[in-house]
Structure 1
């Protein structure tokens, strides 16, 4: 269980992880640096629940997106040696890539501004099973075959692992050695990161690897093979090694101050607007302090790293349970260390209104006017608002819905987290919209629509066999029990339902928007899968 730490705040920190430092619970590894020194290391809970094994100093957690910092640093290291420029067209090193109208430059890859779709979602779209594995070469070939992107390079930012993978491949090409060998010899070994390794594939034996878990009622289920992966792209580490990684930002052992400063350089879009993204991570303001961070949370992997350069403070929390909140735990620790550094935000009318958030009562007749279907055009998904027993519910999919509580005549909060999630219904230029706000960070616009209805005879027109040449993927769309079912050769069956003329949606994120296309004679010639994570992929009707 909890080990002897290195700092006087150990009791307060242990309290944060108290829930997880018990038998039968997954665990966490924590590392903290301050003023150029490692000031706190600790671990809690269990690495393996099937064979009860506590998290130890040698337990390795999958870093997930924390890996992006390491890829960005490797690229900048080569730039500091004059071997590349962040402004280089990536086709200089990857000539296999399609020549897009606006070139993709290396800095686009590291700041999620390339416009490339997410390769994991592309893999899922091809019918790849969760437990299947792709080689690096197979995944790269899939990206090389792409002939369209979601947006022009530099127009906006949207997270995609495709850019990080391609950046790592550029490093490998220039160094003439596999990426994992480059970072092991040039980064991990010089920094003393002896417990940081690459996982070639997920069934490779990695000593002291933490299993990963998600909730299954009152207990947990193992998710260790329940996700998409590719060979030579997963990094495993622990709190101590990642603390050593953060120390290099304070006192560079490898690279130099110029390189480190580039890791904190804000991204500028084509229109001149700056966004809160820097190479390999994100930046934000936390209680008046500048913070650089990266968060990873997929299936049972939950990881978070944050660095406060002006305070020379950094923290990493690595966990192996999906319901573990690594970011929340890390920021609670930051509160303990940086309390005297925080800059109090001025009290404004907006702040006062946020604090009130008192639940009010609305009649069923007033609630009913908000019921219906809402479409998010930016991310291509549908949401349903419905009334039951005098309460409104926000429906995503079966088993995934949230109760809404009114705090105003047209404003609601999600009861599961009323301080964070707010929904406001408005009329904008004659259109009924639902605005879903996540704190002060994001706002999602959803427009109300009336779903189109087709009878069984009309639905038959949308059946057939469809081929995407880019992805070499084939889907069969057929009628089953009065419903349209899309499936691949791997028997991934997806129910698709119409939401407007010639357009269908489903509960699957990568297949949430299908727009059928017709020729001049009105005959269907194919459909476009058009979503925020796969871009626009055309499937031609071949039968």
Structure 2
């Protein structure tokens, strides 16, 4: 008896400590959402899963401001691109049943598409390696606003009318909504059922996900649906209303409690077997054999030494992230209904709180460049690096300035970092975020390399900035037409600048960067001349639509 009492006291003490630690963790989590946790703001709902148990779920702020309805774990959120994993799941199920082959080409489903469809496989669509232009960016190139309506027929026309790809299929990984919209259509062609119906019958209903659906009819009623919001300049909120009905790339509404059931199935495999999950989590491979960190609409990566499976989603007024640490059987779900609540970093911050003892400690590093003593360079040497630099891959410019014998890296007039010389041609960027070491290295032939934590992430070449007067700018003016998106552009001078008008409506200004190349909030404009040095066309490029041609009209 005497030995039992100390043991019980020890056990009670341990349980009390564990409970206190858990409460401390939850207090830290609630602090992350403090900004939105009030009766006058939209907010979020979260779920934290440990070893198959929903150990914490909570709503913050309001699901509907007009009716004062709070967010809860039962609130249905638009999870945007997180819908893609359910589209991928439908494709994998059909593949398992022998209804389609993942190596089938797009042309076998759409023989009317251009010749390049013969080189695009279902795998390319799944892994975002198809090279297709992204219809979601074609919409605004066509002059549509985020709240404008378009339907499946419009999307099919846009995709099928593209004469060129962004790149050869399998050559690169570039996120593309067109591919997942097409996968949704392929589910219908193969199964004879709309994606929404197939997913409900084969996934949502068997798993008991009664409050999850693909919204393919904007008149549908969704119980406990959250409205999406965006902060307004007045300090209030704007209600974001969407009438869109397309699915595949997005469209799923679901709840924290339903996604818990989806997470359970990853481990339990009562409906979806091992082969299914193996296919869902197999990384894609490029033509050169390189593995990419993307599988069946899931990113497979590592975070602080631990394997992660996750995907984010973003739509006007909504953001989401579903983050899983499979080896720890720990998951975080974050759904938000306000555009200034970023679900991805919030989910990782929650993981930081709960998994702090599980994260692998980094190996002791060799003395980094950040620890090297700075050196003194002459003004003459520093001046050699001053200039304008262009990134041809992602199409943006940077400037290197010299002020008070210090080089400065300028993204814009208000976004500038000083550079500390550590070698004759290498500089450490000052005032970077914690844990981020940036080195700017100047190469031969007037080039610059941008290095983050030892990895080269961007390359630049010097260029001569364009200096056009009003007379010079007149040669770029006129009307242009794109057959591929059936849209008219017109360039006019307004307030001494070139402005773009789309289908007669004023949109954005164009800023000259270098000879025959202009930048704008819409994209990059590269003008093409004939043998008489006259402008005959331009190409417009965005991150996911490359070299869309507009011919000058006579």
When normalised by structure 2's length, the TM-score is 0.85
Q: What is the Cα deviation at residue 446 of structure 1?
A: 3.5
Task: Please identify, of 70-79 and 196-205, the stretch whose mean Cα deviation from structure 2 is larger.
Answer: 196-205
Q: What is the Cα deviation at residue 423 of structure 1?
A: 4.8
Aligned to 1:47: 63
Q: What is the Cα deviation at residue 11 of structure 1?
A: 4.8
Distance 1:170 1:7, change over 3 A: farther
CA distance in 1, matches of 2:455, 2:354: 24
Distance 1:329 1:498, change over 3 A: closer
Q: What is the Cα deviation at residue 496 of structure 1?
A: 1.5
1:506 aligns to 2:520 (yes or no): yes
Distance 1:329 1:156, change over 3 A: same
Q: What is the Cα deviation at residue 167 of structure 1?
A: 0.9
Match of 2:135 among 105, 119, 122: 119
Distance 1:228 1:500, change over 3 A: farther
1:455 aligns to 2:469 (yes or no): yes
CA distance in 2, matches of 1:44, 1:86: 41
1:152 aligns to 2:168 (yes or no): yes
Deviation string for 1:341-377 (max 9, x for gaps)?
4332211126x666x7999999999998876543221
Q: What is the Cα deviation at residue 186 of structure 1?
A: 1.5
Contact 2:312 2:322 in 1 (8 A): yes
Aligned to 1:427: 442
Contact 1:21 1:27 in 2 (8 A): yes
Deviation string for 1:131-184 (max 9, x for gaps)?
102112211221011121111111110111111111111111111121111112
* SS across alignment from 1:302: strand
Aligned to 1:470: 484
Match of 1:443 among 439, 454, 457: 457
CA distance in 1, matches of 2:262, 2:110: 29
CA distance in 2, matches of 1:102, 1:95: 9
Unaligned runs of at least 5 residues, structure 2: 1-18
Match of 2:534 among 500, 523, 531: 523
Match of 2:302 among 266, 277, 285: 285
Deviation string for 1:241-290 (max 9, x for gaps)?
11111111111233211110111111111001111111212111112221
Contact 2:427 2:441 in 1 (8 A): no
Q: What is the Cα deviation at residue 51 of structure 1?
A: 4.0
CA distance in 2, matches of 1:295, 1:72: 15
Task: Please identify, of 142-151 and 101-110, the stretch whose mean Cα deviation from structure 2 is larger.
Answer: 101-110
Aligned to 1:274: 291
Contact 2:305 2:360 in 1 (8 A): yes
Contact 2:508 2:520 in 1 (8 A): yes
Aligned to 1:402: 415
Q: What is the Cα deviation at residue 21 of structure 1?
A: 2.4
Q: What is the Cα deviation at residue 406 of structure 1?
A: 4.7
Contact 2:450 2:456 in 1 (8 A): no
Match of 1:346 among 345, 348, 363: 363
CA distance in 1, matches of 2:264, 2:455: 29
Aligned to 2:545: 534
* SS across alignment from 2:138: helix
Contact 1:281 1:293 in 2 (8 A): yes
Distance 1:331 1:499, change over 3 A: closer
Task: Please identify, of 12-21 and 368-377, the stretch whose mean Cα deviation from structure 2 is larger.
Answer: 368-377
Contact 1:529 1:537 in 2 (8 A): yes
Contact 1:80 1:255 in 2 (8 A): no
* SS across alignment from 1:134: coil
Aligned to 1:13: 26
Q: What is the Cα deviation at residue 441 of structure 1?
A: 8.0
Aligned to 1:134: 150
Match of 1:184 among 188, 200, 205: 200
Contact 2:218 2:243 in 1 (8 A): no
The aligned runs of 1:144-293 (5 Å cut-off) are: 144-200=160-216, 206-216=222-232, 219-222=235-238, 224-225=240-241, 231-232=246-247, 233-293=250-310
Distance 1:16 1:490, change over 3 A: farther
Match of 1:319 among 322, 330, 336: 336
1:486 aligns to 2:503 (yes or no): no
Task: Please identify, of 440-449 and 495-504, the stretch whose mean Cα deviation from structure 2 is larger.
Answer: 440-449
Deviation string for 1:176-208 (max 9, x for gaps)?
121111112221111111222333466865443
Q: CA RMSD in A?
A: 3.4
Match of 1:72 among 81, 88, 95: 88
* SS across alignment from 2:211: coil
Distance 1:209 1:386, change over 3 A: farther
* SS across alignment from 2:240: coil
When normalised by structure 1's length, the TM-score is 0.86
CA distance in 1, matches of 2:410, 2:395: 17
Unaligned runs of at least 5 residues, structure 1: 1-5
Contact 2:418 2:429 in 1 (8 A): yes
Contact 1:16 1:329 in 2 (8 A): no
Aligned to 1:304: 321
Contact 1:496 1:505 in 2 (8 A): yes
Contact 1:28 1:319 in 2 (8 A): yes
Aligned to 1:3: none
* SS across alignment from 2:260: helix
CA distance in 1, matches of 2:373, 2:254: 44
Distance 1:217 1:495, change over 3 A: closer
Task: Please identify, of 147-156 and 185-194, the stretch whose mean Cα deviation from structure 2 is larger.
Answer: 185-194
* SS across alignment from 2:479: strand
Task: Please identify, of 163-172 and 447-456, the stretch whose mean Cα deviation from structure 2 is larger.
Answer: 447-456
CA distance in 2, matches of 1:128, 1:505: 20
Match of 2:391 among 369, 376, 399: 376
